[in-house]
Amino acid sequence: MQLAFQKGSRSRVLGGLLLIMMAIFVVRLFYLQIVMHDDYVAQAMQEQVKPLTIPAKRGLIYAMDGDKPIQLVMNQTVYTLFVDPATVTKPEQVLETIRKIAGGNLRPNLDKLIAKKDTRYQILGTKLTRQQAEMIKKEELKGVGFQEVSQRVYPEGGLAAQTLGFVNAEGKGQYGVEEALHDRLVGTDGLLKSVTDISGVPLTIGSGNINRPAKDGENVVLTIDRNVQAKAERALAEGLKNTGAKEGSVIVMDPQNGHVMAMANLPSYRPAEFTKVTDAAAFNNATVGVPYEAGSVIKTLTVATGLDQRAIRPDSTYVNTDKIKVGDREIGNATKGQTGTITMQKALDYSLNTGMVTIAQRLGDGTINQQARNTMYEYFHDRFGLGEPTGIELLGEARGNVTKSDQPGAAVQYATMSFGQGMNVTMTQVISAFCSAINGGTYYRPTVVAGTLASDKTTFSPTNPDVLRKNVISQEASSQLRSMVHEAREKFHGAKDKAGYEVGGKTGTSQTLKDGRYVDEQTIGSYLGYGAGGDGTPRYVIMVQVSGKDMNLEGGKHAMPVFTDISNWMIDYLKLQPKG
């Protein structure tokens, strides 16, 4: 059968019209499905596929508890309570319920906040616990919602606050290791890109789903020992209370690997309450961030230089007249009366400036010439690392300043540097240098990071000690220095130490600059020393510093008692065995 329309018939016209319409549909469909294919697919994906961020957990921070890591900074999920005032039907019931369950976490003026009907989001409470949130959820209050927030918690309160730092409201680490190691702690957020249903539940249908798991931040184990830290903080607080000093710092270091066992500063704060701090100086870790003229504790390094260069021996002598001339300046001793021919040991015992200037002169041709200055600069700056950041993993480490040996007027400056004036150094620089001088000559980079703990929270990967320089001074010079520093303490303060142990130390009292000149009415007291067991191996080094505005503080009177307190405690804590 052959289908044919008569020419000009209505059926033929209708057929033609249908053909045209079909052609239009075909063209339109071609445009939509072929030409615009990618655009519409993209639009559909935008509607159906939702990218969900899987937040990475910030790494935990551990301290040591003897030889076992314990949690010092943790994460906890807390809840922000909010309402949509436009949908709240029973505001009185909402307020009564939340006041009853979470009274302490609520904002003031709740009545006003919930009455703002022209807004859709009002925060009524923050940092609610999971139990509080669950109790409120059970009440099924209309218009009330919760938002999960991860916050840092500090089970040990304010312990090691300046070393830790804190995490601000934007999730960024501030100060301490939180900021210095932020990149390691923060982790990488994951991504879940998937077709979701109307309520946002991800579905596995679709071929373009992405599921990239979050990579949690590293769990960092600090070298800080919580027991030593707590002891250092208690001893320092006690010391400040007894002396009336306003500020103080303590570092306890293991001289055999550069591990910082404690780092305390006062005044301090509680990291969980960082918003309540009124003076931002409390955030600063003075042991790394505040350089100062360390005073006579530096004499230990001058003696180390002289011994290593064989310019002196402990029993070398010089004529002390309580004053010595360098260039056009006359330098005097703080302790007077030990005049005559005396040994270098005695010069160290009585902390005589003239003895240290003599050592500096003997490094040259009897004067502090270029050769003497070069040698001192090489030891102080290049070997002991003074005037350079140590590289400790803490924020805000100061460089300090050690004047180069070829500067004008350097002879006088180097004379004063020999007894700790005329250069700015941080406590961390000084204690690290001293550790290298008494441990046989190995300079370890000071560190607060002992290693990392795997996500199973049991597998500990320790970080190897970082040896920056070997043979800073010879074994022989190191041994002689230890002996001299021990004798310097033994002579006047040995009775305060536990019997049978080798404890050495050196006082330091530094004048401060006021209006460009040194003054005696505002001094900083320092003490630097070590302790060893029966085998003579130094096991700990402690440095203490106390200061206060317009206060005359001395190393021997005000800083040393803190050292003695911690030192005697350390002997027990480390279970050191006595001699014999």
Residue for token pair 């250092």: 232
Q: How far is the CB of 194 from other proteins (least distance, A)?
A: 9
Among left, alpha and beta (phi > 0; psi -120 to 50; other), residue 264 is beta
**DSSP H or E run through 63:** strand 61-65
**DSSP assignment letter at 558:** I
User: Which CB sits closer to other proteins, 272 or 560?
Assistant: 272
- Candidates 80-88, 105-113, 155-163, 260-268: pick the segment binding other proteins (CB under 8 A): 155-163
Query: Does residue 156 belong to the site contacting other proteins (CB under 8 A)?
Result: yes
**DSSP H or E run through 184:** helix 182-186
Name the nearest CA neighbour of 397 among 534, 535, 260: 260
Return the residue of 48, 80, 126, 129 that touches other proteins, per CB under 8 A. 129
Phi, then psi, of 48 in degrees rounded to 5: -95, -35
**DSSP H or E run through 15:** helix 10-30
Taking CA atoms, 276 is separated from 128, 146, 373, in Å, by 19, 25, 49
How many chain residues touch other proteins (CB under 8 A)?
24
Pairing of strands 144-153, 122-128: unpaired
Query: Does residue 130 belong to the site contacting other proteins (CB under 8 A)?
Result: yes
Query: Does residue 157 belong to the site contacting other proteins (CB under 8 A)?
Result: yes
Q: How far is the CB of 543 from other proteins (least distance, A)?
A: 23
Q: How far is the CB of 76 from other proteins (least distance, A)?
A: 5
Q: How far is the CB of 158 from other proteins (least distance, A)?
A: 9
User: Which CB sits closer to other proteins, 3 or 201?
Assistant: 201
Q: How far is the CB of 70 from other proteins (least distance, A)?
A: 8
User: Which CB sits closer to other proteins, 97 or 196?
Assistant: 196
**DSSP assignment letter at 275:** G
Query: Does residue 112 belong to the site contacting other proteins (CB under 8 A)?
Result: no
Q: How far is the CB of 204 from other proteins (least distance, A)?
A: 5
Query: Does residue 135 belong to the site contacting other proteins (CB under 8 A)?
Result: no
Return the residue of 15, 66, 103, 155 that touches other proteins, per CB under 8 A. 155
Query: Does residue 76 belong to the site contacting other proteins (CB under 8 A)?
Result: yes
Return the residue of 201, 279, 330, 499 that touches other proteins, per CB under 8 A. 201
**DSSP H or E run through 561:** helix 560-573
Q: How far is the CB of 22 from other proteins (least distance, A)?
A: 22
Query: Does residue 230 belong to the site contacting other proteins (CB under 8 A)?
Result: yes
Distance separating alpha carbons of residues 437 and 301, to the nearest angstrom: 7
Name the nearest CA neighbour of 539 among 576, 566, 484: 576
User: Which CB sits closer to other proteins, 155 or 462?
Assistant: 155
Q: Which two tokens stand for residue 122?
A: 């009002």
Distance separating alpha carbons of residues 12 and 20, to the nearest angstrom: 12
Q: Which two tokens stand for residue 417?
A: 């540097």
User: Which CB sits closer to other proteins, 71 or 547?
Assistant: 71
Beta strands in 315-408 (DSSP E): 317-320, 323-326, 329-332, 340-343
By CB under 8 A, what part of segment 36-75 binds other proteins? 70-71, 74-75
Q: How far is the CB of 215 from other proteins (least distance, A)?
A: 17
User: Which CB sits closer to other proteins, 100 or 579?
Assistant: 579
Distance separating alpha carbons of residues 309 and 411, to the nearest angstrom: 19
User: Which CB sits closer to other proteins, 157 or 366?
Assistant: 157
Exposure of 345 in the CB half-sphere (CA atoms within 13 A):
14
Distance separating alpha carbons of residues 117 and 50, to the nearest angstrom: 30
Return the residue of 97, 174, 227, 370 that touches other proteins, per CB under 8 A. 227
User: Which CB sits closer to other proteins, 87 or 577?
Assistant: 577
Task: Write out the residues near other proteins by the rule CB under 8 A.
Answer: 70-71, 74-77, 129-130, 153, 155-157, 159, 197, 201-205, 226-227, 230, 577-578
